[in-house]
Structure 1
Amino acid sequence: MSIILTNHGVNDTTTSNNFLASSSNLLDGSLGNSWNNPNPESNKTLAEKYLQSVEDLIAISNISNDSDQKNIHIDTCSGDECTNTVFNATVTVRSSGNGIVKTAGFKYLQDYLPNTTHTFNINSIVVSTTQRGKENLEITLKFPLLTPRPRHFELQCVSWNYNQSNWTDEGCVWGGASKPDECTCNHLTSFAILMSRYPIKIPYMTEITYAGLSASVVSLVISLLIELIVWSKVVKTNTLHLRHTAHVNISLCLLVADCCFLASSQPKSISEIWCRIAALLKHFCYLAMFFWMLSLSTMLLHQAVFLFHKVGKKTYLRFSLILGYVCPFLIVFITFLTNNGGAQDAYFSLETCWLVYSGLLKGTIYTFILPVGIIVFINLFAMIVVIMKLLDHRSREKSHEKEIQAAKTVLRSVILLTPIFGLPWIFGFATFSLDLTARAVTLAVNYAFVVLNAFQGLFILLTTCLGDRMTREALLNSFRKKAPPTISESSTNLETTTKKS
């Protein structure tokens, strides 16, 4: 066919239709192995020679819309803006000239053309578009994808370069995550869509995560030691007792969860049972941390709204223990049982040792995201109400001054704590809706989320311990008492003892 087209051409419709029918038959699946044989007459593959010959045939022949074959569909149109549809692939051509646009869709040809890239696979049928008399072209192509595009996988709009015998993205732009099946090009030839074999990686994300978690583990251990040292000196009121109890439990839950995260950072090097245990502990401990934060917010909200109504320490502790540990336990227990007893790929993923994400509102990950989202919203609401109420009570009598002062101390901590536990997860929720193919914006959101959450333990140390005046003073006093006396202090003490004698 190539020789006839080159030397003689095709002068009648019957001949062109016969050639077209034969070309369609060559694409049958039963002949798939034949395409692997090299073309003896040139260094081009049989599939490339086939595509070029059929493209030339369609360009010079009087092809009509009723020339469709089993494996080749053809559509034609004319005008300044016209649209052709072949095998559900749509090609819209806008131009400043008049002429006939011919579009052909080829079944299975994408499997026979050589894949000239190492990181992408062909993910659509091959569509060829030719024209006569058209100038200043703008082509919009919409392909049905052969495989649905997962999140964070990049697509590439390409055309076949006959001179270099490879796929090239020159002159074509992909529509992005919002239009994953759309391409815009400025020339006509044979087109296809390629899909990346691997998801987009965020540079240095792993290093930042491990560095942050390591710093958090050390900071949380220091925070717990500080709470142990200053507890008897700082915890003077019910408000402070409940606040520091919440801080200790938040730090303890986050410490265990971060240790499990680091222990399962290389899922391939641990067994399935340990991966399941790590996912289970992380699920429970991270949830428990947020529920204890909810307990702290609830306590502050109650004290701000009902300033003179006191709740017994034992009553609130029972409430906090139920909210902080029983609620997350029930969520984890029910999720574990309803997903085949914590089975792989149902409850947890062996690749990440974490919960499964199967799509929007699909997968066990949402038994974590939804409770956390509700808690973050309540925490932010509680902070706003507490601030408004405390500002309202500033002009009133200073009765219960001790409790009010304690509430203000807690408020200062919550203003620092609530962004730490709340706002970073707003970035986290955004990462589930944004696609990494959006590049700059999504990368910034992901970096913000990872940095703020990986260093969460360090922020707890800076705000609840070192940033709190009462805790800081109590800690300094403890070190002063334990420090050995200096020479001047010893001399002064000796003189005083001598005078008394």
Structure 2
Amino acid sequence: MSATYLQSVEDLVLNIHVNQSSGINCSNLQLTFCSSNDCDVTVFGINVNMNMSNGIMKILGVKNLMNKLRNSFEYTEATSHLVSATLQDNKDSSLRIRMDFPKEKLNYTIPRCVFWDHTMMDWSDAGCIVTTSDNYSSMCECNHLTSFSVLMAKGDQSLNMFEPILEKITSVGLGVSICSLLIFLTIEYIVWSAVIKSNLAHFRHTAMVNIAVFRLLADCSFLASSSPNILTDSWCLTLTICKHLFYLAMFCWMLCLSVMLVHQLIFVFSPLRKRVFMFFSSIVGYVCPILIVGSSYVYYKYTYNLYYDMKTCWLIYVRLLEGSIHAFLLPVGTIILTNLFSMAVVIVTLVKTSVPDSSKADDKETAKSILKVVVFLTPVFGVTWVIGFFQLMMQKDNPMYAFVVFSFTILNSFQVI
């Protein structure tokens, strides 16, 4: 609705034909005209300058609309004003406009000059640069005319210098993970008939193979989308859906494995029947991810909201409980909490079995068993992904942010199952 309003106001201003300098001044809109060769006008404290040979420049200032327009630039805060510039009776294709935006938030130090792209329904910085910036204002220069504003990033952006390193770590880690998963699946195929001696073994290996297969497919999709700038929109959408589906399916099979393990520990004398396990695990591992991904895509398509970001080929995070990323975060968060509970049950069961024997040797063996459980179950149950939730909750200027980002990248890209 806000984007439609902005488009309507721009069209209205474009169709206003004036012959002399005049203007409109109200609480949320300021409109001014300039017909001199060197135009220098001000709207809502924003100085606008442009050199032109002929024609009439129309400058419109809009207040209290910025926070209602979509902003996909991460870790940025919108200012309260935007400026729309149009020309009447001028066909010059090489125009440059300069705007001096007063800095509203002193603790936000990194400015970004942007314009509203009505096709993308989002802000874009194409053709706009920041020429100067200090504690009081930010000077923007653009080579086209439309609606402009400034997005401010908070704090130090030094983590951006580590992005190439993070990309290399991710690529290497995913390469190692893919090779390891292929080796694991090959071994499982060779020894399958030999290791499946009981229902419990069949349950465990079925879950592990499904986790490995979906992890492999998700990693391949992630690598294929690592350069979104060379992908078409359709390919970007396809890879986003694939990553969403495959990672969700991986976590759902992790849930099946953890629930099966806890059931076997608690109900020792009531083992799961093979048909029952395969039925319910198929529903959870195959049907549920398809329903979640399909319903979220349909919802965002028919509510005219963006399902994916073409800059990253991944789901969109706007703010808490807003954005398509929550169709991934909410089910994954629920699964991780369930798996943490399952891990706690396993550890408590190990401790209880060692209570009657109080010797130091038994205590050491129990500690070793608990350590083995934690080391083995942490990646298998997806517990390392908890770091990603901390990353989302932390501010980018937090001193621990870089450590959390590197930890998440290393632990999850090199994960082999």
**Same fold flag (TM > 0.5):** yes
Q: How many residues matched?
A: 309
Which of 107, 112, 115 is matched with 1:175 structurally? Answer: 107
Partners of 1:329 and 1:342 in 2: CA distance: 20
Give me the CA root mean square deviation.
4.2
Q: Secondary structure at the match of 1:261?
A: helix
Q: Secondary structure at the match of 1:290?
A: helix
| Aligned counterpart, 2:407 | 448
Which residue type is aligned with residue 335 of structure 2? I
Which residue type is aligned with residue 338 of structure 2? I
Which of 333, 338, 344 is matched with 1:384 structurally? Answer: 344
| 1:30 equivalenced with 2:46 (yes/no) | no
CA contact (8 A) 1:256 1:285 kept: yes
Partners of 1:313 and 1:420 in 2: CA distance: 22
CA contact (8 A) 2:222 2:243 kept: yes
| 1:295 equivalenced with 2:241 (yes/no) | no
**1:382 Cα offset (Å):** 0.6
| Aligned counterpart, 2:199 | 238
Partners of 1:191 and 1:347 in 2: CA distance: 37
| Aligned counterpart, 1:107 | 44
Q: Secondary structure at the match of 2:226?
A: coil
Which residue type is aligned with residue 294 of structure 1? L
| CA 1:410–1:327: 2 relative to 1, 3 Å | farther
| Aligned counterpart, 1:350 | 310
C-alpha distance after superposition, 1:185-220 (max 9, x if no partner): xxxx99346856889424322222212111111111
Partners of 1:380 and 1:214 in 2: CA distance: 28
C-alpha distance after superposition, 1:236-262 (max 9, x if no partner): 332222111111000000101111111
CA contact (8 A) 1:347 1:355 kept: yes
Which of 380, 383, 391 is matched with 1:423 structurally? Answer: 383
C-alpha distance after superposition, 1:94-140 (max 9, x if no partner): xxxxxxxxxxxx93344459xxxxxxxxxx99xxxxxxxxxxxxxxx
Radius of gyration: which is bigger?
Answer: 1
Query: Map of 1:322-401 to 2, 5 A cutoff?
Result: 322-340=283-301, 346-394=306-354
C-alpha distance after superposition, 1:355-403 (max 9, x if no partner): 222322112110100000011011011111122123324579xxxxxxx
| CA 1:190–1:217: 2 relative to 1, 3 Å | closer
Which residue type is aligned with residue 264 of structure 2? Q
Query: Map of 1:120-159 to 2, 5 A cutoff?
Result: 147=66, 151-153=74-76
| Aligned counterpart, 2:113 | none
CA contact (8 A) 1:154 1:196 kept: yes
Which residue type is aligned with residue 453 of structure 1? N
**1:429 Cα offset (Å):** 0.9
Partners of 2:135 and 2:261 in 1: CA distance: 66
Which residue type is aligned with residue 30 of structure 1? T
| CA 1:334–1:29: 2 relative to 1, 3 Å | closer
**1:434 Cα offset (Å):** 1.9
**1:341 Cα offset (Å):** 6.4
CA contact (8 A) 1:151 1:435 kept: no
CA contact (8 A) 2:108 2:152 kept: no
| Aligned counterpart, 1:118 | none
| Aligned counterpart, 2:214 | 253
**1:312 Cα offset (Å):** 1.2
Q: Secondary structure at the match of 2:218?
A: helix
| CA 1:391–1:340: 2 relative to 1, 3 Å | same
CA contact (8 A) 2:255 2:381 kept: no
Query: Map of 1:401-416 to 2, 5 A cutoff?
Result: 412=372, 415-416=375-376
| CA 1:452–1:33: 2 relative to 1, 3 Å | farther
| Aligned counterpart, 1:306 | 267
Partners of 1:442 and 1:32 in 2: CA distance: 48
Gaps of 5+ in 2: 1-24, 51-60, 80-99, 110-133, 140-149, 357-367
Which of 186, 198, 212 is matched with 2:173 structurally? Answer: 212
| Aligned counterpart, 2:136 | 191
**1:453 Cα offset (Å):** 1.3
Partners of 1:35 and 1:430 in 2: CA distance: 54
**1:329 Cα offset (Å):** 1.2
**1:414 Cα offset (Å):** 6.3
Partners of 1:298 and 1:190 in 2: CA distance: 56
C-alpha distance after superposition, 1:400-436 (max 9, x if no partner): xxxxxxxx99994564232564332221112222232
Partners of 1:439 and 1:371 in 2: CA distance: 27
Which residue type is aligned with residue 152 of structure 1? Y
| Aligned counterpart, 1:63 | none
| Aligned counterpart, 2:6 | none
Partners of 2:181 and 2:251 in 1: CA distance: 16
| CA 1:246–1:325: 2 relative to 1, 3 Å | same
**Structure with higher strand content:** 2
Q: Secondary structure at the match of 2:136?
A: strand
Q: Secondary structure at the match of 1:453?
A: helix
CA contact (8 A) 1:155 1:174 kept: no
Which residue type is aligned with residue 107 of structure 1? F
Gaps of 5+ in 1: 1-24, 38-45, 48-70, 72-105, 114-123, 126-143, 157-166, 168-172, 178-188, 397-407, 461-501
Partners of 1:289 and 1:389 in 2: CA distance: 26
CA contact (8 A) 1:208 1:450 kept: yes
